[in-house]
Structures are given as C-alpha cells and as structure tokens.
Structure 1
Amino acid sequence: MSSHRIQFQQTGGPDVLEYVAVDKPMPGAEEVVIENHAIGLNFIDIYFRSGLYPAELPSGLGTEGAGIVVAVGDEVTDFAEGDRVAYAQGPLGAYATHVAMPARSVIALPEAIDFETAAAGMLKGLTVQYLLRQTYAVGEDDTIVFHAAAGGVGSIACQWAKALGAHVIGTVSSPEKADIARKNGAWQLIDYTKESVPERVMDLTHGAGVPVVYDSVGRDTWADSLKCLQKRGLMVSFGNASGPVEGVNLVELNRGGSLFVTRPSLGGYADTRPRFEMMCADLFAVLESGDVQVPIGQRFDLADAGAAQTALAERRTTGSTILLP
C-alpha cells in the first residue's frame, strides 16, 4: 500500500520541499505505524528545512501528529491496532500520511481530545507545560512577559498562565493579534512595532520588572527581554524565530541584576518515559477541563506544506497551524 510524505533532498527555502509517493512504512520491533489524521506545524520544522538544525539528507520533516495505530512491532506491548494516539517527539517524518514512530514517543489519546486538537497542541502544549510548570513555576499573582502572545505557543501559554492565577504581559505585532491574545487571557498587550517593550513593562510593573521573560523570537528581542527583568530574574530563550541569539555577554547579566538565562527544549524535559507521561497527563488535564483550548487558525493540505511554512515564517498565522493528509 502506498502513502505520501513531504521530504527534502537539500536544505533551503520552502521550494526544496517535495510531496512524493512512498511505500507504507513497516514497524520495527519497538515501533508502531500511525495513520496520521492531522499533523502539527512548528517553527522547528523550518529550522531543519533551512539547515539551522542538522538533518540527514534526504529527510522527512515534522515531529508532531495524531492518528490511529495501524501496525505494531513485535516487542510493543502498550499499543494495539486501532488505538488513538498522538506524538510530539521522535525521528523526523510526521509530514506524511503514515509514519513509523518509536512506541516510547507515543501517547494514548483520551477520547475527549480530537485528532486536530492533539496535532495542533501536543508539541506546543508540552512546551508550555515545561515553561510554566518546570523551567519557572508560575504561581498566583506572578506577572510574566510572553513574546509572540498570539502565536501557537503563546495562545496556549496565555490561557494556562491565567488558569494558574498569573498576569501575562504579551507582545504582539498588530491590533488584531492583540485582540486574539486578550481573548486568550493576556492581562496587558504591547505592540512592539509601536512601543518600547522594556519601557512599557516597567510602567506596568511600577518599575519593578518581571521575574521571568519567555522569548521564542530570539535575536531581535534578546536585549529588550533582559531589560524587562527584575533582579535575579530568569530569561527563558526557547526559540529562534528571528534568528539565533549569538555573542551572549555575561557582563550584561551582572549589570542587569545577577540575571539568570536558560535555553530549554522539550527533549531536555521529556527525557524519560515517566516524565513524558507526567507532562502529557498535565496537558490533557487542562485540555479536558476546558481551562486551555487549542486555537487552530489555519489548515493546509499536506501537499501545501511549503505554503504553510511560508505563512508561519512571515508571521501571517495566528494560533496553531495543522496539515491534513
């Protein structure tokens, strides 16, 4: 039986992506084959396609999706054909109608959570889980700064932080995106195209600054993010949308008030099966309770993955974007 996938044979722009027919994958001993019903689109996919992150060529693309198990390896005991599952980590290749995944990277999907929500929210939701619950444990009445508040991760973070009793100062690039972030629970919004983010943060916090800044933008916002922090505050740089942060000057951290910096990743937190299961349980609980909803702003056909990535890179998307096989 044939299937299709997106692949690239050289790094570059969206034009290097090819939609090709391939043989349906067979499971290894510790793998399951999943028929994808929905696939997540994430900025990290662009990093692999562009060459910022290395990939063995030719390569598939994508790490997140949800669907039905259609084949099981000989040594897999936790899953069976017909199971509803989701995944957010693993070998590249989620941009496909069928994908073979290590069973250790797959989680059973509760009936209350549909495939599109899972595909749109697994990687982003687990990212928010470690950001708000582990990297810095956000508590009631905390005031935090979250860049790209109307994006896929930001939309989830605003809701989850509000459920935890925190006040989110979100940054956005337009009034339309400000409205989206506000509806998702942001306390205050800053349009960084018109306002100084550090000055506005200091105004909102009466000069105190915030204990933590969550920054997925990278190079363009690094310096301003540091200026938003209070003494001994934590700078959480978890993405490179504008390019990687380079030339970090430790003296700046001292001058800013003994600041802390971390560059976390999902792989650094969900690094064991028990931790992965704990994080998924936390995410599924807030989804099932209704405290967090995953807004899907765009849906593209799998064959149009290049156009979807272009829209994401040009910041023309809101919420999450999914690909449909």
Structure 2
Amino acid sequence: MLQRVVRSTIIDAPIERVWAVLRDFNSHGQWHEVVEASRIEGGERSDQVGCVRSFTLRDGNRIREQLLTLSDREHKSTYCIVEATVPLQRYVATITLKPVTDGNRTFWHWESSFATPPGRERELRDMVAQGVYEAGFQNLRRYLRQGGDLRASGTAEAMPAALPLATRRVVVERHGGPEMLRAQEGEAPAPRAGEVRIRQRAIGVNFIDIYLRRGWMPSALPLVPGMEAAGGVLDVGPQVGGLLPGDRVAYLGPLPGAYCGVRCVPAEWVVRLPAAIEDEVAAALLLKGITADYLLRDLGRVQRGTRLLVHAAAGGVGLLVCAWARRLGATVLGTVSSEEKARVAREHGCEHVIVTRDYRFADAVQRACGGADVLIDGLGDAARDENLAALARRGHWISLGQASGPLAPLPPDALVAKSLSFSRPVVFDYVATQPQLAERAQRVWDALADGSIRLPPIERHSLEAAAQAHARLESRATLGALVLLP
C-alpha cells in the first residue's frame, strides 16, 4: 500500500527568491542540514530534466534521485528515487510554489507517495514528514535569512553586516583616454538604511562610461565608472524590504560606481533576476534593453509602418532596437561601419543597412523609404547635417549619444523647415521609481523570451582590462554588448 505525505508552509520571501533555490536540483546540499554531500552525475546542469543527483545523508544513508519535471512558469518540480539505502520504494515527490500576495511571501507545498516494507510504514512516513519536509522548511528559512551555507557554523557572524569588505575597483583620477582607467584596491562599506550590498558577477559597459571618463559629462574625480551590474545580494541595510541575502539581482542607477567587485546601491535601483536570466545577460541587457523600450514605446511610438533609422545598428542598443522595431512592424534602416556589422544588423531585423565610415547616409535613406519618421542617433556632431537631410516631414530626431563629439545646439530654423522635433532623453528619468524599473525590466526579459529581441553578441573582459574594453568600444570595432567580469 502506498504511503502519502503532504506538508505545506509559508516562507517569508518572494516566490522568485524561493524558486531560485529550489529549481536547482543540487541546492539542498547548501540549505538542508540532513545532507552531508551532494553532486549531479555526469556533469549535467542541475536544472536539466533527467539529471540525477547522488547524495549522502548525515546518518550515512545514500540516495540517488532523478529530476522528472521542472516548470518555471508553474514554479513546480517532480523527482523520484532511483536507488537508495533507505527503504523508500517507488518514491515520487512534487514541490509546488504559489505566491502569497499579502507581504510578498511564498506558499510551499511538498508531497510524496512511496511504499515501505511491512511494519515500517509509520517510521518512514514520520522520517519523510518531519526529518525531510518540516526540517527542510526551517532550514530554508534560515538559509534565506543568512544568505550562506548552513553547514558553515557562524556564517552570519563570520561576515557581520557592520563590517566593510575589501574589493577590487577601477578608478579614473584624471579625465582622458582609456589609459586613465586604473585598477586598485578599495572597500565596500556596510549597507546603510535603504541600501543593498551586492557581490557583482558581471558589469555592463556603456558609452556613458566613456563620456564620464573623457569629462564630457559632469563628474567629480576620482571617479569609478559604471551604471549597471548583476550579481548576488550579500546583505541589506535597515528599511529594505523584498530583498534577501543570496538573491540574484541586477541594478541600474544614475550615479556611477559599478566598476568594482562589491558595491552598495540604493534598493530602489535593484530588480531581482528571473531564473532564466544569467548574470552576464542581465549586465548586457538591462540598461540597453530599457533604453530600447522607452525609445520605441515612449518617444518613437513605433508601430506598423513607422520608418525608423538607427545609427550604430550593430551596437548593443542598436541590435535590440532593430529587432524589437521589426517585430512591431516598422521599416528598419540602420547605419554601420563595416560589412561584418551589416551582416549582424540584418540578422537582428535591420532591413536596409547602410555601410558608411564618413557619416554620409541621407541620400540612401531617402532612396530607400522617402525619409525617416524616427531617427535614433548615438553618433553626435559628425552626423548632424546628414540627420536633418535624412528625416521625413514631421520626423523626430532622438539624440541618444555623442560618439563623434558633443552635438552643437540646434537653432530652431534647422527644425522648422520640415516641422521636425528633437529630444535628448536620459534613461534614468524613465526608471525614476523602483516599480517603473521593475516594469521595464520585465518587458525586456519578456521580449527576450518571446523572440521580440535576440541576445546580442557579448564581448567579455576582466575588470582589470576595463581600459581595453573602452578602447575597443571607442574604435567602433565591437559588435553587440560588452561586459566586465570581476
């Protein structure tokens, strides 16, 4: 006769945080204290359906279990025992999570069915119910609070929240070229009220970092560049809710400082990452993807039939804008500096690619579509006159950057000839609150999942090689996004 064990509880943490732990089929070696050692056989991923985990319990028993199903949409997984020294026969278990809207908590349901040798029904049923499930609930709560390995006694005391942490960082002490970026040792202080301390695993590189390094934007020296990164929460300061040690997060904020290994940032800059979004992907996409979102949705109001011209169409923002705009039904034109970049731009949805290194493109745009309704410009002053000539009547010029140099002020007469409009947006004004940031970030992750955008090529550099990354970006030799790895 099959035995059935059912246990449920409420975990005081968001469902994304709890699921990030439980979807890892090998994570129980970190948070469940009955487990002595655990590994995934055959080198497979721990979220791969069909993988087998082999572990030893503290009482000496050995068990091999196989992952049967895993659903990120339903927050549900099923597994079975393949082989065990514990006499649980035909054991199948299911873990299901549901969100609890009151307080952003999680309902955790754990159940199993199994057969036992005659006379041992109650003993083994209690072992599963109390020693595995109920103990597991308590262990995971403690793990989420501490953000560390339960078997390392004194984890919370070993790294008190009140102490600063040593970190490597990249500093600009004088404005100038890439050689001004110097790696040095520093400290990440304890988080203050409203702050989160993050161990960073990937850092986004953007042209705004270059503008700050050159002194084209107001900034005090010495300066640590960088506006975005992804990693894991180490600890949180007072008055921070919804984030816990161990959470996988990314952040985007208006103050530089991301070129480092550990950093404190305001909690309102931070979003939790879905399980499917890796750290490098988050660092490559967060700022650029949100930029693409507000350019198309808010400023360009791009829809079917919109004629869109994108400069640097093979860059990090350009590839995302081209793909997303094409999905919206726009006619997408783009400028690039090489045939290789033209190929990549076409792969990401750019229909009409103009290869130019001398900023001449207006005639080609007029021939292809009769002029652009919306123009997204990161080139700056060198493209000024060509931009005016490439725009259609009532066209809108969005000045997003100044790679060729700061754009001189436009006199009104330059716009009135064709009733043009002009804007100079800053991404941080479109994510001024945490809910706005979370909403736009989710749209980016959804667009990646449904194919509206494709992951651009990611070029990786070590944190110490930040100068090389800047030189590559300035040389117009890069494709897609660049990230630094601490």
Aligned partner (choices 243, 255, 266) of residue 79 of structure 1: 243
| 2:182 paired residue number | 18
> Which of 249, 266, 274 pairs up with 2:435?
274
Are the counterparts in 1 of residues 270 and 434 from structure 2 also a CA contact under 8 Å? no
Corresponding residue for residue 160 of structure 1: 324
Counterpart in the other structure of 1:238: 400
CA distance in 2, matches of 1:52, 1:20: 24
1:307 corresponds to which of 465, 468, 478: 468
Deviations 1:241-296 (A, max 9, x none): 111111312111112x1110011110222222332222112112102223212223
Larger deviation: 286-295 or 157-166? 286-295
Q: 2: distance between equivalents of 1:222 and 1:64? A: 29
Query: For residue 217 of structure 1, what is the aligned residue in structure 2?
Result: 379
Cα distance change, pair 54–196 in 1 and its aligned pair in 2 (3 A): closer
Which runs of 5 or more residues in structure 2 are unaligned?
A: 1-164
Matched-pair contact (CA < 8 Å) for 2:188–2:264? no
1:292 aligns with 2:456: no
Q: Match of 2:16? A: none
1:57 Cα offset (Å)? 1.6
Aligned residue type for 2:404:
S
Deviates more, 1:177-186 or 1:87-96: 87-96
Task: Give 1:1-325 correspondences, 5 Å limit.
Answer: 1-193=165-357, 196-205=360-369, 208-255=370-417, 257-325=418-486
Q: What SS does structure 2 have at the residue aligned with 1:55?
A: coil
Amino acid at match of 1:189: V
Cα deviation code 1:213-237 (max 9, x no counterpart): 1101111112111111111110111
Q: TM-score, normalised by structure 2?
A: 0.65
Gaps of 5+ in 1: none
- Whole-Å separation in 1 of the counterparts to 2:440 and 2:306: 22
Contact 2:307 2:372 in 1 (8 A): yes
Structure 2 counterpart SS, 1:133: helix
RMSD, aligned α-carbons: 1.4
- Give the secondary-structure state (helix, strand or coil) at the position aligned to 2:382: coil
Following superposition, the deviation at residue 195 of structure 1 comes to 8.6
Q: What is the letter of the counterpart of residue 372 of structure 2?
A: V
Asked whether the 8 Å contact 1:27–1:73 carries over to 2, the reply is yes
Distance in 1 (CA, whole Å) between partners of 2:347 and 2:251 is 28
Deviates more, 1:74-83 or 1:50-59: 50-59
Question: In terms of mean alpha carbon deviation, does 167-176 or 243-252 score higher?
Answer: 243-252
Q: Is the 8 A contact 2:306 2:374 kept in 1?
A: no
User: Is the Cα–Cα contact under 8 Å of residues 215 and 239 in structure 1 kept in the other structure?
Assistant: yes
| Aligned equivalent of 2:72 | none
Instruction: Report the alpha carbon displacement of residue 192 of structure 1 after superposing the two structures with TM.
Output: 2.0
Instruction: Give the superposition deviation at 1:118.
Output: 0.4
Partner Cα distance (2:451, 2:393) in 1: 35
Q: Structure 1 residues 110 and 297 mapped into 2: Cα distance closer, same or farther (>3 Å)?
A: closer
What is the distance in 2 between the residues matched to 1:76 and 1:5?
Answer: 26
The answer to which of 7-16 and 40-49 deviates more is 7-16
Q: Is the contact made by 2:254 and 2:428 (CA closer than 8 Å) also made in structure 1?
A: no
Return the letter of the residue paired with 2:428.
G
Cα deviation, 1:85-140, whole Å, max 9, x if unaligned, reads: 11122421111111111000111111111111100111111111110111111101
| 1:185-225 alpha-carbon deviations (Å, 9 max, x no partner) | 111101123794111111111xx312111101111112111
What is the distance in 2 between the residues matched to 1:108 and 1:28? Answer: 20
Percent identity of paired positions between Structure 1 and Structure 2 = 39
C-alpha separation between the residues in 2 aligned to 1:297 and 1:274? 28
Conservation of the 8 A alpha-carbon contact between 1:25 and 1:98: no
CA distance, structure 1, for counterparts of residue 328 and residue 172 of structure 2: 41
CA distance in 2, matches of 1:270, 1:92: 16
The structure where strand makes up a greater share of residues is 2
State the number of aligned residues: 322
Between the aligned partners of 1:210 and 1:304, the Cα distance in structure 2 is 39
Paired letter, 2:181: L
Quick one: distance in 1 between partners of 2:180 and 2:270? 29
- Of structures 1 and 2, the larger Rg is shown by 2
Query: Distance in 1 between the 2:289 and 2:359 partners?
Result: 29
* Whole-Å separation in 1 of the counterparts to 2:214 and 2:372: 34
CA distance in 2, matches of 1:113, 1:270: 20
